Amino acid sequence: MKTTVSTAIAALALVSATQLSAQEQEPPTGDPFAEDSVFDDNWISIGVGGVYSPSYDGSDDYVFTPIPIVQGRLGGIGIDPRPAGLALDFLPDAESGVDISAGISARIRNNRADRIKDEVVEQYGELDTAIEVGPTVGLSFPGLLNPFDSLTVSTDVLFDVAGAHSGFTVSPSVTYFTPLSRAAIASISLSTNWVNDDYAEYYYSVPQINFVQPGVALPAFDADGGFDRAGVNLLLGYDLDGDATNGGLALIAFGGYSRLLGDAKETPFTSIRGDADQWSAALGIGYTF
């Protein structure tokens, strides 16, 4: 799991979806989101953040990485951030009821491509950077526990088009989102990830290598595909002028935990040199206009 602060900044923008759904229906008395919103038409959010996360999947060494973020809706096409990438939603937002999203997602995966802090793992060399592209679909159910919350179920299916691992992944997730006030939001998501044999072989297999320096080599390991992780993310966001509907600056704090599964856990890169428990934390700031 490499969910980053981009997801957190996106969640603050998701206030708009629940607000608009409530506006299309009869808003309750005292509805704090009854007036026009910056999200009613074309809008864009840009931001920057920093994430503190493992140096590779399965590492127990952590690195800090700055990241840019883009989120919005332009010309009827939704732009949603992904870890190290983005997704485009080609379906219009539903005026009421269940909202369906469908489009294309893409990301850059640089797992063990650079910044390997473990000296033993580093001896096995850097891997190529993967560029992954594929379809994304989702369903969002508004107004579950209050007029402005939502539950979203989504899945990305990504194929490596750069010839690095030459495999594919399937990443389903479930996210519950709710405003805490006119300015603050909270979101919790559960996710898992399934990988095919090509992906697992590339990232989790350990070749038989005889190094000149004794004691450096790890045991050989042949990895197979399957579910390689499951995790939970929690975020909090706050609009700095106290009103999320008018855009402007917002701050986000994010924390995540995932547990590596199957051969992602059993590979010596994790079981000997790293840790199956993976943590991440992020802070970010974004501006919406």
Residue-level pLDDT at 161: 98
CATH homologous superfamily of 5-288 equals monomeric porin ompg (2.40.160.40)
Kindly give the residue spans of alpha helices, DSSP state H, lying in 84-220.
119-122, 197-204
Question: Residue 13: is its pLDDT beyond 90?
Answer: no
Question: Residue 266: is its pLDDT beyond 70?
Answer: yes
Question: Residue 16: is its pLDDT beyond 60?
Answer: no
Q: List, as one string, the DSSP characters of 24-83.
A: HS-PPTT-TT-S--GGGSSEEEEEEEEEEEESSTT-S-EEEEEEEEEEEEETTEEEEEET
pLDDT tens-digit series, residues 207-235: 988 665 655 789 999 999 999 999 999 99
Residue-level pLDDT at 38: 82
Measured torsion, CA atoms of residues 156, 78, 232, 137, in degrees rounded to the nearest 10 = -30
Question: Residue 22: is its pLDDT beyond 70?
Answer: no
Tokens of 75: 């010309």
Residue 67 banded pLDDT, cuts 50, 70, 90: confident
Name the pTM for this structure. Answer: 0.86
CA angle 93, 232, 138 (to 5 degrees): 20
CA gap 140, 18 in Å, rounded:
10
Q: Can you give the length of the chain in residues?
A: 289
Is-contact 211 217, C-beta < 8 A?
Answer: yes
Sign of CA dihedral 202, 205, 208, 212: positive
Residue-level pLDDT at 212: 52
